[in-house]
Structure 1
Amino acid sequence: MSVFRSRSALRWLVPSAAAVVVIGGGAAAGTIIASADPALPERSAAQLLVDLQNAKVDGLSGTIVQSSDLGLPQIAGLTDDASSQLGLASLVAGSNTARVWYAGEDKARIALLGTQGETDVIRNGPDVWFWQSQESAATHLKVPAGAERKKPEALPSGIPSSPQEAADAALAAIDDTTAVTTTGAAKVADRDAYELVLSPKAQQSLIGQVRLAVDAEKHIPLRVDVYAKNATSPAFRVAFQQISFDTPDAQQFVFNPPPGTKVTEANSGQIEKDIEKSAQKHTPAEVEKAKGEGVKVIGEGWASVVTATLPKTDAADGEKPAQVEGLLGALPEASGSWGKGRIFAGSLFSVLLTDDGRVFAGAVAPETLYEAAAKK
Structure 2
Amino acid sequence: MPRNEPTEVTDGWDGGRSPKRRKAVRYGVPVAVAGVAAATIGLVPAFAGSGSPDLPKISAQDLIAKIAKSDVQQLSGTVRVTTDLGLPSLPGGGSVGGFGGERQGHGAEGQDGSSASPQNKLMELASGAHTLRVAADGPDKQRLSIVDKAAEYSIIHNGDQVWAYDSGSNTAVHSKAEAHGKPGQRHHGPEDLPKGLKNATPQDLAKEALKAAGDTTSVTVDGTARVAGRDAYQLLIKPKQAASTVGSIRIAVDAANGVPLKFTLTPKSGGAAAVDVGYTNVDFAKPAASSFSFTPPKGAKVVDADKERAKAERQHGKDVKDVKGRKGLEDFKDRGGLNVIGKGWTSIATIKGSGSGLPAGKDKGAAGDAGKFLDSIGDKVTGSFGSGRVFSTRLVNALITDNGTVYVGAVDKEALIDAANAAK
**TM-score, length basis structure 2:** 0.68
Does residue 203 of the first structure (1) align with residue 242 of the second (2)?
A: yes
Which residue is equivalent to 2:339? Answer: 296
Which residue is equivalent to 2:415? Answer: 368
**What's the offset of the Cα at 1:117?**
4.5
Secondary structure, in 3 states, of the residue corresponding to 1:42? coil
**Structure 1 pair 156–222 and aligned structure 2 pair: CA distance change class (3 A):** closer
Which residue is equivalent to 1:127? Answer: 161
Given candidates 367, 374, 377, the residue that maps to 1:331 is: 377
**What's the offset of the Cα at 1:74?**
3.4
Equivalent-residue separation in structure 1 for 2:256 and 2:237 (angstroms): 21
Equivalent-residue separation in structure 1 for 2:252 and 2:388 (angstroms): 40
Q: Deviations over 1:252-310 (max 9, x none)?
A: 11111011122233438x8478548734579xxxxx99x86522111111011111136
- Contact 1:206–1:348 under 8 Å retained in 2: yes
More helix, by proportion: 2
**Structure 1 pair 322–248 and aligned structure 2 pair: CA distance change class (3 A):** farther
Secondary structure, in 3 states, of the residue corresponding to 1:120? strand
- Contact 2:341–2:349 under 8 Å retained in 1: yes
5+ unaligned residues in a row in structure 1: which ranges?
1-16, 24-35, 283-287, 315-319
Aligned pairs, number: 334
Does residue 82 of the first structure (1) align with residue 125 of the second (2)?
A: no
Which residue is equivalent to 2:138? Answer: 104
Secondary structure, in 3 states, of the residue corresponding to 1:52? helix
Equivalent-residue separation in structure 2 for 1:61 and 1:326 (angstroms): 49
Equivalent-residue separation in structure 2 for 1:347 and 1:209 (angstroms): 13
What is the identity percentage for the equivalent residue pairs of Structure 1 and Structure 2? 33
Secondary structure, in 3 states, of the residue corresponding to 2:190? coil
- Contact 2:154–2:166 under 8 Å retained in 1: yes
Structure 2 counterpart of 1:278, which letter?
A: H
**Structure 1 pair 347–333 and aligned structure 2 pair: CA distance change class (3 A):** closer
Equivalent-residue separation in structure 2 for 1:153 and 1:323 (angstroms): 40
Structure 1 counterpart of 2:163, which letter?
A: W
Equivalent-residue separation in structure 1 for 2:314 and 2:61 (angstroms): 47
More strand, by proportion: 1
Equivalent-residue separation in structure 2 for 1:257 and 1:326 (angstroms): 47
Given candidates 46, 58, 66, the residue that maps to 2:61 is: 46
**Structure 1 pair 22–115 and aligned structure 2 pair: CA distance change class (3 A):** closer
Which residue is equivalent to 2:189? Answer: 149
- Contact 2:162–2:176 under 8 Å retained in 1: yes
Given candidates 56, 59, 66, the residue that maps to 2:74 is: 59
Secondary structure, in 3 states, of the residue corresponding to 1:372? helix
**Structure 1 pair 308–61 and aligned structure 2 pair: CA distance change class (3 A):** same
Equivalent-residue separation in structure 1 for 2:297 and 2:56 (angstroms): 51
Q: After superposing the two structures, state which structure 1 stretch, 57-66 or 143-152, moved more.
A: 143-152
Given candidates 296, 303, 315, the residue that maps to 1:257 is: 296
**What's the offset of the Cα at 1:176?**
2.1
5+ unaligned residues in a row in structure 2: which ranges?
1-32, 40-51, 105-119, 180-184, 321-330, 358-365
Equivalent-residue separation in structure 2 for 1:120 and 1:313 (angstroms): 41
- Contact 2:356–2:403 under 8 Å retained in 1: no
Given candidates 383, 388, 402, the residue that maps to 1:341 is: 388
- Contact 2:157–2:193 under 8 Å retained in 1: no
Equivalent-residue separation in structure 1 for 2:95 and 2:136 (angstroms): 33
Equivalent-residue separation in structure 1 for 2:195 and 2:370 (angstroms): 22
Q: After superposing the two structures, state which structure 1 stretch, 73-82 or 211-220, moved more.
A: 73-82
- Contact 2:82–2:277 under 8 Å retained in 1: yes
CA RMSD of aligned residues (A): 3.7
Does residue 216 of the first structure (1) align with residue 255 of the second (2)?
A: yes
- Contact 1:292–1:312 under 8 Å retained in 2: no
Structure 2 counterpart of 1:334, which letter?
A: K
**What's the offset of the Cα at 1:350?**
0.8
Given candidates 338, 351, 358, the residue that maps to 2:398 is: 351
Structure 2 counterpart of 1:96, which letter?
A: H
